[in-house]
Amino acid sequence: DQQVKQNSPSLSVQEGRISILNCDYTNSMFDYFLWYKKYPAEGPTFLISISSIKDKNEDGRFTVFLNKSAKHLSLHIVPSQPGDSAVYFCAATRQGNTPLVFGKGTRLSVIA
C-alpha cells in the first residue's frame, strides 16, 4: 500500500517557466510534508517543508501548497532553471517521531 504517490515519473519544462510537481497521500494522520531534490550520485537534499496547519510555504523560487481535504500537495518552482533538473521526492510523516514515507520521485528536466 503506497501511502505517498507521485504519479508523474517525469516532467519536462522550459527554462524560465513554472515547474509544478504533484504528490498525493492516503494517510490522513500525516501532518508534516517535505520535498527533497536528488542529483545523480548524491544523496537527497532537503528543499522545503510544510506543516498541516498551513496551506502554503514559500522559500525563494520554491513554494509548496497543501490541500488537506484533497490529500494533495504540490511544489512550484518559478522560474525554472537548468540546475533544477533532478529527481524530486515528496515525503510525509506524522508527529511522534515516526519515519518519513517517500514517494517514488519525479524526474524534472529543465530545457534551456
Q: Which residues bind other proteins (CB under 8 A)?
A: 4, 6, 32, 34, 36, 41-46, 49, 51, 89, 91, 93-105
**Up-side HSE of residue 38: CA atoms within 13 Å toward CB?**
18
Q: How far is the CB of 106 from other proteins (least distance, A)?
A: 11
Question: With contact defined as beta carbons under 8 Å apart, do 32 and 92 qualify?
Answer: yes
If the CB atoms of residues 77 and 90 are measured against other proteins, the closer one turns out to be 90
Q: How far is the CB of 103 from other proteins (least distance, A)?
A: 5
If the CB atoms of residues 13 and 35 are measured against other proteins, the closer one turns out to be 35
Query: How many C-beta atoms surround the C-beta of residue 74 within 10 A?
Result: 16
What is the C-alpha to C-alpha distance for residues 100 and 31, in angstroms, rounded to an integer? 11
Q: Provide the CA 39 distance to its chain's centre, in angstroms.
A: 15
If the CB atoms of residues 14 and 98 are measured against other proteins, the closer one turns out to be 98
Q: How far is the CB of 80 from other proteins (least distance, A)?
A: 23
